[in-house]
Structure 1
Amino acid sequence: MKQYIGITILAMFILSGCQSISDEELEALHARAAKAEQLQAENEKLKQSKASLQQSVAELNKQLEQEVTAKQVLIEQNEQTGVIKVTLQQDILFSSGSFKIDQAGAADILKKVIESIDNNDGKVMLRIVGHTDNLPVAKKWRNQFSDNWDLSARRAGEVARYLTWGLGFPRENITVAGRADVEPVASNDTPEGRAKNRRIELFIEK
C-alpha cells in the first residue's frame, strides 16, 4: 500500500511538469495520499461488514423460515449499508396490552435471531424499536402505561432485557427506542393494518 501511494505521489509530481516541489506542496500530497489510504481501509471494512451481515441474513431466513412463511417475521437488508432489519409482529412476542415476553414462543424466536448473528468479534450492534397502532391504551392497562409512547418503549426494553439477561448479548451493544404510532407501515383504519403496526424492529449492524 505504501509503495503504491509513493508511486502515486511521484506520478503526480512528474505529470505536474515541476522540477522541484516545496515542503508545503509535498505535505499536501502526503495528506491526500493518507486520506486515500484511509478511505480505502474504510471501504474494505464496510465490505467485510456487509459480507458478514449477508451471511447472517441467510442464517436468519433458514432459522426463521416457518415464522417468515407465516408472515410473523420479516427480514430485510439495506443494499447500501448492509444493515439488517428484522420485524417481529407483536402477537408472537406479547399478549394484548402486556409488555412481558411470551415465553411460549417469543423466547425461541429471539434465541434464533441471536444465534444467527455472527458476533464472534463482539462488534454487532442492535437497535430495538417498539411500535404500536394508533388506538389509545385500554383503561385497564393505564395503571401500567400512560400512553403508546410508554407502551412501545417498555416492550422494546423488555426485548433488550431478555436478549441481555436471558441470552447474554452484550448490554453495551444495544440501544432501545419507543416510537408509539408515529411510523405506521399500514393503515390504522382496519384490524389487519393495526396488527401490522404493532411490532418490534431489530436493526442489526456492524
Structure 2
Amino acid sequence: MKRMMWMLGLMVVLNGCVSADYFEQIQRSAHDVDAIKASDSEQEMKIRDLEKRVNELQSSLRPVIDQQGVTVDGASAGEVRVTLPQSVLFASGSVEINEQGRKVLADVAQVALKGGDKPIRVVGHSDALPLSGELKKHFTDNWELSAARAASVARVLIWGEGVTQDRIRVEGRGSAEPVGDNTSKQGRNQNRRIEIFIAG
C-alpha cells in the first residue's frame, strides 16, 4: 500500500512538472510569435521607407532618367541604388564632375540627407579597354580611374551638398563588375558608371 501511494504521489509530481514545462513552452512560443510579428512589422516599415526613397529619387531625377539612362532601384541589403552613366557626370577622359552631374548629385544629396547618418557607398566602374591619352598619364589602370571618379562624386556630395564625410565610403571596382558586353560600344558605355548606394 505504501508503495502504491508513493507511485501515485510520484505520478502527481511528474504530471505537475510536465504541465509546468508544457506551460513554459507555450509561453515561449507565444513570445517567439510576438517577436516574429514585431520583426515582420519592422521589415514592412523598412520596405515602405525604401520604396518611398526610390520614388522620391525617381521623381526628382525624372529628366535624366528619361534622357540619360540614369536608373534608381532598391538594391539588396535595404539600399537605394542610383546608377549614373559616366556621360551624365564626366566629360570623356576626365575625372571632374560636369555641371549637369552637379545638378544630378544635388538631387541625390537631398534624398540622402533625409537619411540622417545612414551610410552611403559611392562605387566607380569602368569598361575593360586599356587607358589611353590623358587618362594614361594620370592613372595606372581602370581600377585607379574608377576610384578617382567615385572620389570626385563623394567630394561633390560632401563639399558641395553637405553630406557628412563619415557617412561616405568610396570604392573603385575597375572593370571587375560589368553590366554590359565590353566588346561592344554600347556595352562599354553601360560599364562606365557610378553607383551610389544609400542605406534605407
How many angstroms does 1:86 deviate by?
0.9
Distance 1:49 1:184 in 2: 29
Greater share of residues in helix = 2
TM-score, length-normalised on structure 1? 0.77
Show the counterpart of 2:137: 143
Determine which of 84, 87, 95 is the counterpart of 2:83.
87
Distance 1:199 1:152 in 2: 9
- Say which SS state the counterpart of residue 124 (structure 2) adopts: strand
User: Over aligned residues, Cα RMSD in angstroms?
Assistant: 2.9
Deviates more, 1:144-153 or 1:66-75: 66-75
Q: 1:129 touches 1:202 (CA, 8 Å); kept in 2? A: yes
In structure 2, what residue type is equivalent to 1:100? E
Determine which of 165, 184, 194 is the counterpart of 1:190.
184
Deviates more, 1:187-196 or 1:144-153: 187-196
Show the counterpart of 1:52: 49
Distance 1:84 1:162 in 2: 19
Distance 1:163 1:18 in 2: 68
Q: Return closer, same or farther for 1:42/1:145 CA change in 2, 3 Å cut-off.
A: farther
5+ long unaligned stretches in structure 2:
1-13
In structure 2, what residue type is equivalent to 1:163? L
Q: How many residues align?
A: 187
5+ long unaligned stretches in structure 1:
1-16
Q: 1:52 touches 1:118 (CA, 8 Å); kept in 2? A: no
How far does the alpha carbon of each residue in 1:74-115 deviate from its partner, in whole angstroms, 9 at most, with x for none? 11224x74422111000110111211111x201110111122
- Say which SS state the counterpart of residue 180 (structure 1) adopts: coil
- Look at both structures and tell me which one has the larger radius of gyration over its CA atoms: 2
The answer to whether residue 114 in structure 2 is matched with residue 119 in structure 1 is: yes
Show the counterpart of 2:8: none
TM-score, length-normalised on structure 2? 0.79
Q: 2:122 touches 2:150 (CA, 8 Å); kept in 1? A: yes
